[in-house]
Amino acid sequence: MQTCYKHSGKAPPIGVLLGLTGGVLAVIPLSFAYAYGIIHIPEVKLRAICTIAFGVLVGVATGLGMVWGKVRNNFVAVGAGLLTSLAALYVSWGIWILDIISPGKWGLDSTKLLTSPQLIWQIILAINPRGTWGLQHEAPMRGIPLWIIWASEASLILLCGILVAVALVRRTPFCENCDQWCSGPEKLYYAPSVDSADLKAKIENQQFSDIQKLVQGDPKAAKAQIHLHTCSTCGRLNTLTLIRSTAGSRKILFNKLLISDSDAGFLGRQKPVTAMQASVGGSL
Protein backbone atom coordinates (compact mmCIF):
# COMPACT_ATOMS: atom_id res chain seq x y z
CA MET A 1 0.00 0.00 0.00
CA GLN A 2 1.35 3.40 -0.98
CA THR A 3 1.99 5.92 1.75
CA CYS A 4 2.34 9.67 1.95
CA TYR A 5 5.41 11.63 2.95
CA LYS A 6 5.68 12.94 6.52
CA HIS A 7 8.36 15.15 8.03
CA SER A 8 10.93 13.37 10.19
CA GLY A 9 10.20 15.67 13.14
CA LYS A 10 13.77 16.98 13.33
CA ALA A 11 14.17 20.58 14.43
CA PRO A 12 17.79 21.81 14.51
CA PRO A 13 18.20 24.46 17.23
CA ILE A 14 19.80 26.84 14.74
CA GLY A 15 16.74 26.41 12.50
CA VAL A 16 14.34 27.26 15.34
CA LEU A 17 16.53 30.26 16.22
CA LEU A 18 16.50 31.45 12.61
CA GLY A 19 12.71 31.20 12.52
CA LEU A 20 12.29 33.16 15.74
CA THR A 21 14.90 35.73 14.71
CA GLY A 22 13.33 36.21 11.29
CA GLY A 23 9.90 36.70 12.80
CA VAL A 24 11.06 39.12 15.50
CA LEU A 25 13.13 41.20 13.06
CA ALA A 26 10.10 41.49 10.79
CA VAL A 27 7.87 42.50 13.71
CA ILE A 28 9.47 45.92 14.25
CA PRO A 29 8.98 47.52 10.78
CA LEU A 30 5.70 45.70 10.26
CA SER A 31 4.34 46.97 13.58
CA PHE A 32 5.07 50.57 12.59
CA ALA A 33 3.27 50.07 9.27
CA TYR A 34 0.38 48.25 10.92
CA ALA A 35 -0.12 50.87 13.64
CA TYR A 36 -0.10 53.63 11.04
CA GLY A 37 -2.60 51.74 8.90
CA ILE A 38 -5.21 51.03 11.57
CA ILE A 39 -5.02 54.63 12.84
CA HIS A 40 -5.25 56.42 9.50
CA ILE A 41 -7.40 54.04 7.40
CA PRO A 42 -11.09 54.78 8.03
CA GLU A 43 -12.60 51.74 6.25
CA VAL A 44 -13.31 48.79 8.52
CA LYS A 45 -12.70 46.24 5.76
CA LEU A 46 -9.32 47.75 4.93
CA ARG A 47 -8.38 47.65 8.59
CA ALA A 48 -9.26 43.97 8.68
CA ILE A 49 -7.11 43.39 5.60
CA CYS A 50 -4.24 45.21 7.33
CA THR A 51 -4.63 42.93 10.34
CA ILE A 52 -4.58 39.78 8.20
CA ALA A 53 -1.61 41.04 6.16
CA PHE A 54 0.28 41.83 9.36
CA GLY A 55 -0.16 38.31 10.71
CA VAL A 56 0.61 36.69 7.35
CA LEU A 57 3.86 38.63 6.86
CA VAL A 58 5.07 37.79 10.35
CA GLY A 59 4.27 34.14 9.61
CA VAL A 60 6.16 34.33 6.31
CA ALA A 61 9.28 35.71 7.99
CA THR A 62 9.10 33.02 10.69
CA GLY A 63 8.40 30.19 8.26
CA LEU A 64 11.15 31.16 5.82
CA GLY A 65 13.64 31.30 8.68
CA MET A 66 12.71 27.77 9.73
CA VAL A 67 12.87 26.50 6.14
CA TRP A 68 16.32 28.03 5.78
CA GLY A 69 17.28 26.33 9.05
CA LYS A 70 15.86 22.97 7.86
CA VAL A 71 13.17 22.57 10.51
CA ARG A 72 10.99 19.51 9.75
CA ASN A 73 8.67 19.51 12.75
CA ASN A 74 5.11 20.82 12.50
CA PHE A 75 4.68 21.23 16.26
CA VAL A 76 7.85 23.30 16.50
CA ALA A 77 6.57 25.40 13.60
CA VAL A 78 3.34 26.01 15.52
CA GLY A 79 5.30 27.07 18.61
CA ALA A 80 7.61 29.41 16.69
CA GLY A 81 4.67 30.92 14.82
CA LEU A 82 2.82 31.47 18.09
CA LEU A 83 5.79 33.14 19.80
CA THR A 84 6.56 35.54 16.95
CA SER A 85 2.87 36.35 16.51
CA LEU A 86 2.59 37.14 20.22
CA ALA A 87 5.65 39.37 19.89
CA ALA A 88 4.03 41.07 16.90
CA LEU A 89 0.82 41.64 18.85
CA TYR A 90 2.69 43.08 21.83
CA VAL A 91 4.95 45.42 19.84
CA SER A 92 2.08 46.62 17.64
CA TRP A 93 0.06 47.46 20.77
CA GLY A 94 2.97 49.47 22.17
CA ILE A 95 3.53 51.40 18.95
CA TRP A 96 -0.20 52.00 18.55
CA ILE A 97 -0.41 53.46 22.07
CA LEU A 98 2.57 55.72 21.38
CA ASP A 99 0.97 56.95 18.16
CA ILE A 100 -2.25 57.68 20.01
CA ILE A 101 -0.60 59.47 22.94
CA SER A 102 2.19 61.36 21.14
CA PRO A 103 2.11 60.99 17.35
CA GLY A 104 5.52 61.11 15.72
CA LYS A 105 7.42 61.63 18.97
CA TRP A 106 9.91 58.93 19.90
CA GLY A 107 12.48 58.92 22.66
CA LEU A 108 13.31 57.32 25.98
CA ASP A 109 9.61 57.14 26.82
CA SER A 110 9.13 54.83 23.87
CA THR A 111 11.67 52.33 25.18
CA LYS A 112 10.21 52.57 28.66
CA LEU A 113 6.73 51.77 27.38
CA LEU A 114 7.74 48.88 25.12
CA THR A 115 9.71 47.24 27.92
CA SER A 116 6.87 47.46 30.41
CA PRO A 117 3.99 45.01 29.76
CA GLN A 118 2.30 46.15 32.96
CA LEU A 119 2.30 49.79 31.83
CA ILE A 120 0.90 48.83 28.41
CA TRP A 121 -1.89 46.86 30.10
CA GLN A 122 -2.74 49.78 32.40
CA ILE A 123 -2.98 52.13 29.42
CA ILE A 124 -5.20 49.65 27.56
CA LEU A 125 -7.52 49.50 30.57
CA ALA A 126 -7.61 53.30 30.64
CA ILE A 127 -8.33 53.60 26.89
CA ASN A 128 -11.15 51.07 26.76
CA PRO A 129 -13.82 53.04 28.70
CA ARG A 130 -13.12 56.15 26.61
CA GLY A 131 -13.13 54.34 23.27
CA THR A 132 -10.94 54.77 20.21
CA TRP A 133 -12.83 54.61 16.92
CA GLY A 134 -16.32 54.04 15.58
CA LEU A 135 -17.94 52.50 12.55
CA GLN A 136 -18.24 55.22 9.89
CA HIS A 137 -19.89 58.25 11.61
CA GLU A 138 -20.86 56.53 14.83
CA ALA A 139 -19.49 57.41 18.26
CA PRO A 140 -16.19 55.73 19.28
CA MET A 141 -16.48 52.12 20.40
CA ARG A 142 -15.86 51.45 24.07
CA GLY A 143 -16.37 48.81 26.73
CA ILE A 144 -17.33 45.26 25.77
CA PRO A 145 -17.77 45.90 22.01
CA LEU A 146 -14.25 47.32 21.87
CA TRP A 147 -12.89 44.34 23.82
CA ILE A 148 -14.52 42.08 21.21
CA ILE A 149 -12.89 44.03 18.37
CA TRP A 150 -9.51 43.86 20.08
CA ALA A 151 -9.90 40.13 20.77
CA SER A 152 -10.85 39.48 17.14
CA GLU A 153 -7.85 41.49 15.96
CA ALA A 154 -5.50 39.52 18.25
CA SER A 155 -7.00 36.20 17.12
CA LEU A 156 -6.50 37.07 13.45
CA ILE A 157 -2.86 38.01 13.97
CA LEU A 158 -2.09 34.86 15.95
CA LEU A 159 -4.02 32.55 13.63
CA CYS A 160 -2.53 33.95 10.42
CA GLY A 161 0.98 33.96 11.84
CA ILE A 162 0.79 30.35 13.00
CA LEU A 163 -0.93 28.95 9.90
CA VAL A 164 1.45 30.61 7.46
CA ALA A 165 4.56 29.58 9.39
CA VAL A 166 3.37 25.95 9.52
CA ALA A 167 2.33 25.97 5.85
CA LEU A 168 5.79 27.07 4.74
CA VAL A 169 7.47 24.33 6.78
CA ARG A 170 5.04 21.67 5.50
CA ARG A 171 4.89 22.61 1.84
CA THR A 172 8.06 20.83 0.60
CA PRO A 173 9.37 17.31 1.33
CA PHE A 174 12.86 17.02 2.83
CA CYS A 175 15.38 14.37 1.76
CA GLU A 176 17.03 13.11 4.94
CA ASN A 177 19.73 11.25 2.98
CA CYS A 178 20.91 14.39 1.19
CA ASP A 179 19.99 16.83 3.99
CA GLN A 180 18.13 19.16 1.64
CA TRP A 181 14.66 20.21 0.57
CA CYS A 182 13.27 18.66 -2.60
CA SER A 183 13.10 20.69 -5.77
CA GLY A 184 9.90 21.63 -7.51
CA PRO A 185 7.11 21.31 -7.64
CA GLU A 186 6.82 20.48 -11.31
CA LYS A 187 3.18 21.01 -12.25
CA LEU A 188 1.07 19.10 -14.76
CA TYR A 189 -2.45 20.28 -15.62
CA TYR A 190 -5.31 18.17 -16.98
CA ALA A 191 -8.67 19.15 -18.43
CA PRO A 192 -11.59 19.34 -15.95
CA SER A 193 -13.34 16.58 -17.89
CA VAL A 194 -11.00 14.14 -16.15
CA ASP A 195 -12.93 12.25 -13.51
CA SER A 196 -11.30 12.77 -10.10
CA ALA A 197 -12.11 9.27 -8.86
CA ASP A 198 -10.75 7.72 -12.06
CA LEU A 199 -7.54 9.77 -11.92
CA LYS A 200 -7.07 8.91 -8.25
CA ALA A 201 -7.60 5.22 -9.01
CA LYS A 202 -5.02 5.31 -11.82
CA ILE A 203 -2.46 6.80 -9.46
CA GLU A 204 -3.25 4.26 -6.74
CA ASN A 205 -2.78 1.46 -9.30
CA GLN A 206 0.39 3.09 -10.68
CA GLN A 207 -1.11 3.41 -14.17
CA PHE A 208 1.05 6.40 -15.03
CA SER A 209 1.18 5.60 -18.74
CA ASP A 210 -2.61 6.07 -18.86
CA ILE A 211 -2.31 9.43 -17.11
CA GLN A 212 0.01 10.71 -19.81
CA LYS A 213 -2.76 10.23 -22.37
CA LEU A 214 -5.11 12.64 -20.59
CA VAL A 215 -5.88 15.98 -22.22
CA GLN A 216 -3.94 19.05 -21.14
CA GLY A 217 -5.83 21.60 -19.03
CA ASP A 218 -5.65 25.36 -18.63
CA PRO A 219 -3.70 26.41 -15.49
CA LYS A 220 -6.02 29.43 -15.11
CA ALA A 221 -9.29 27.49 -15.39
CA ALA A 222 -10.93 24.53 -13.66
CA LYS A 223 -8.54 21.61 -13.79
CA ALA A 224 -6.99 18.55 -12.23
CA GLN A 225 -3.33 19.07 -11.43
CA ILE A 226 -0.38 17.00 -10.33
CA HIS A 227 2.52 18.50 -8.38
CA LEU A 228 5.79 16.55 -8.41
CA HIS A 229 8.54 17.08 -5.84
CA THR A 230 11.85 15.27 -6.16
CA CYS A 231 15.27 15.33 -4.54
CA SER A 232 17.54 16.95 -7.11
CA THR A 233 20.62 15.18 -5.71
CA CYS A 234 19.76 11.50 -5.25
CA GLY A 235 16.37 11.37 -6.99
CA ARG A 236 15.17 8.71 -4.57
CA LEU A 237 12.62 10.82 -2.70
CA ASN A 238 9.69 11.65 -4.97
CA THR A 239 6.19 12.76 -4.02
CA LEU A 240 3.02 13.37 -5.98
CA THR A 241 0.20 15.69 -4.94
CA LEU A 242 -3.13 15.48 -6.77
CA ILE A 243 -5.41 18.52 -6.64
CA ARG A 244 -8.86 19.08 -8.10
CA SER A 245 -9.61 22.78 -8.72
CA THR A 246 -12.87 24.38 -9.79
CA ALA A 247 -14.13 27.94 -9.79
CA GLY A 248 -15.19 27.83 -6.16
CA SER A 249 -13.20 25.05 -4.54
CA ARG A 250 -9.83 23.34 -4.29
CA LYS A 251 -9.66 19.74 -3.09
CA ILE A 252 -6.47 17.79 -2.40
CA LEU A 253 -7.00 14.11 -3.27
CA PHE A 254 -3.43 13.00 -2.53
CA ASN A 255 -0.92 15.05 -0.53
CA LYS A 256 2.72 14.13 -1.19
CA LEU A 257 2.12 10.50 -2.11
CA LEU A 258 5.44 8.63 -2.21
CA ILE A 259 6.21 7.27 -5.69
CA SER A 260 9.22 5.57 -7.24
CA ASP A 261 11.96 7.48 -9.04
CA SER A 262 11.08 5.72 -12.30
CA ASP A 263 7.42 6.80 -12.06
CA ALA A 264 8.44 10.33 -11.15
CA GLY A 265 10.86 10.40 -14.06
CA PHE A 266 8.21 9.18 -16.45
CA LEU A 267 5.68 11.79 -15.37
CA GLY A 268 8.32 14.51 -15.43
CA ARG A 269 9.36 13.66 -18.98
CA GLN A 270 5.85 13.24 -20.31
CA LYS A 271 3.46 16.14 -20.81
CA PRO A 272 -0.36 15.96 -21.07
CA VAL A 273 -1.52 15.84 -24.67
CA THR A 274 -3.36 18.85 -26.07
CA ALA A 275 -7.00 18.70 -27.13
CA MET A 276 -5.91 18.74 -30.79
CA GLN A 277 -3.51 15.85 -30.27
CA ALA A 278 -6.24 13.91 -28.52
CA SER A 279 -8.73 14.47 -31.34
CA VAL A 280 -6.15 13.48 -33.97
CA GLY A 281 -5.21 10.38 -32.00
CA GLY A 282 -8.84 9.41 -31.67
CA SER A 283 -9.46 9.74 -35.40
CA LEU A 284 -6.53 7.53 -36.39
pLDDT in tens, 187-238: 887 776 667 777 778 777 777 776 766 667 666 776 778 889 999 999 899 9
- Is 70 exceeded by the pLDDT of residue 100? yes
CB atoms inside a 10 Å sphere around CB 39: 15
Strands 223-230 and 238-245: antiparallel
pTM: 0.82
pLDDT at 108: 45
Highest mean pLDDT among 82-96, 99-113, 126-140, 208-222: 82-96
- In the chain, what are the domain boundaries? 13-170, 176-283
pLDDT in tens, 72-83: 999 999 999 999
Residue 101: pLDDT band by 50, 70, 90 thresholds?
Answer: confident
Q: Which helix (H) or strand (E) holds 230?
A: strand 223-230
Write 267-271 long-range contacts (CB < 8 A, 24+). Answer: 267/188, 267/208, 267/211, 267/212, 267/226, 267/228, 267/240, 268/186, 268/228, 268/230, 270/212, 271/188, 271/212, 271/216
